[in-house]
Amino acid sequence: MKQFGLDRRTFKILLAGYIIIALFGALLLHSSWAHTTPIDFLDAFFTSTSAVSMTGLTVKNTAVDFTLAGQIIILALVQIGGLGYMGIGLFVYILIRKKVGFSARNLLKESLFYPSMDGLFKFFKKVLLFIFTIELIGAILLTMRFALEMNFKKALWFGIFHSISAFNNSGFTIFEHGLIAYKHDIAINLIITSLIILGGLGYFVLVELYFFQRKKLQNLSLHTKMVVVASIFLILSSTLIIFAFEYSNPQTIGHFSFFDKILSSYFIAINYRTAGFNTLDMGHLHDASLFFGSLFMVIGGAPGGTAGGMKVTTVMVLLLYAYWSIRDGRVRIFGHEIPRETISKAFIIAVGSAVYIVIAVILLSLLESKFDFIALLFETSSAFATVGISVGNGGTLSLCALFSDPSKVIIIIMMLSGRIGVFAFLLSVFKQDKAIHLKFPEGKVNL
């Protein structure tokens, strides 16, 4: 059965695949050789899910509670999540030169948000090249910086780990206290945020921007234009909002120099959008910063990349629809008209996301009544958008480390559904009704 031109079975397979990978990762992390402190299976499953969904919420300290083998497992799960498990599988198929069936190609298309089957393999090979090249450059730059204060072997591992983690927007770190020690470090701040932005733009946008700059043989697609414009606007606006609300806060950036205030505001703003790194204790931010941060997280990044959330294109389509509906009703931008089907899909994503988050926050408020509502909203938004940033547990872990087991399960569901997208999650969970051929009379409703 198809709806919006999409096969529900494809999304069910994608969701099942990520659940299986998360369970397998949990089994590995639960093994005695993967951790240094006791860890129950639910916490192992939580960590594995957080990694494969590229979220970064932690109930165990990656630097302290896991061995090197455990850290490698977490990093591998992050990479699998970023490329998509179908992408990893097809990468192996390409290496051994085996033919790939239609079903596998369709799964890859949906996991990469590629518009059609035409040129899929060629595009996928470019994506692989871009991913490994960007991660390699990031690893080299970070290694050079870390080597100034640690031995080369350790600096290399830290460089590789944080480059992959940042590009895949996961927010996992192997520094015990995150990146707080580097809050004034221009190099670390700019390298990490650049990797996050590149990963959050989406593979399709990255590939198109590269070849547009190199050859200038084609105009940018409408999708790329919308993603770039929306991303720039959201980065600037979120930076300005953080800067304004936290300017005089002595527990965050109040005592910083003017330049460091801008740098820290920018770093937080970038991580609000897609990733979960922090150079400040997020628990000290004003409620207004946390509220608007929740909104920015829910908006998310671009489709087909490593970011989560509703996606910037969804929000942009809805805003355009609201604008043009009070004029002539034809939704258009950059010389293109937006199809009705796209608008309908955007509404489903927006309404589904809102209902989904509200239900989760209500349940968490009932189960975890000892925590402030804004903190629970922030944590829920972070899980839904696979961001990973958190107000913290008062130490080095996320707030959800203090949650009861049922609450952790809710966050796990949020992260898994956030990985495949709310639209795909709804299609995979809800059964499609049979087509009704009756015509009903229109009814007027006052608004």
pLDDT in tens, 328-348: 778 888 888 888 888 888 888
437 belongs to a structural domain: no
Residue 4: band (very low, low, confident or very high) from pLDDT cuts 50, 70, 90: very low
93 belongs to a structural domain: yes
What sign for the dihedral angle of Cα 338, 340, 342, 347? positive
CB-CB contact of 377 with 34 (8 Å): no
- What is the extent of the structural domain holding 254? 2-429
Question: b/e map of 419-432 (b: 16 or more CB within 10 Å)?
Answer: bbbbbbbbbbeeee
**What CA dihedral angle connects 337, 343, 349 and 352, to 10 degrees?**
160
On the question of pLDDT at 428 being above 80, the answer is: no
- Can you give the pLDDT at residue 285? 92
- Which of 13, 50, 74 has its CA nearest to residue 416? 50
User: What does DSSP assign to residue 280?
Assistant: S
CA distances from residue 273 to 222, 277, 306, 307, 405 in whole angstroms, order as listed: 21, 11, 11, 8, 28
State how far the Cα of 279 lies from the Cα of 277, in Å rounded to an integer: 7
443 belongs to a structural domain: no
- Can you give the pLDDT at residue 260? 93
Q: What is the pTM of this model?
A: 0.88
State how far the Cα of 268 lies from the Cα of 284, in Å rounded to an integer: 13
Residue with tokens 């991913």: 131
Q: What percent of the chain has pLDDT over 90?
A: 46
Tell me whether residue 24 is exposed, middle or buried, using C-beta atoms within 10 angstroms of its C-beta: 0 to 12, 13 to 18, 19 or more.
Answer: middle
DSSP H or E stretch at residue 337: strand 336-337
61 belongs to a structural domain: yes
CB-CB contact of 269 with 235 (8 Å): yes
- Which of 236, 242, 233 has its CA nearest to residue 279? 242
186 belongs to a structural domain: yes
446 belongs to a structural domain: no
Give how many domains the chain has, as a whole number: 1
73 belongs to a structural domain: yes
137 CB-side CA count, 13 A: 11
201 belongs to a structural domain: yes
- Distance, C-alpha 261 to centroid of its chain: 25
Instruction: Note the pLDDT tens digit of each residue in 204-245.
Output: 888 888 777 655 545 788 888 889 899 999 999 999 999 999
State how far the Cα of 246 lies from the Cα of 350, in Å rounded to an integer: 29
State how far the Cα of 171 lies from the Cα of 306, in Å rounded to an integer: 12
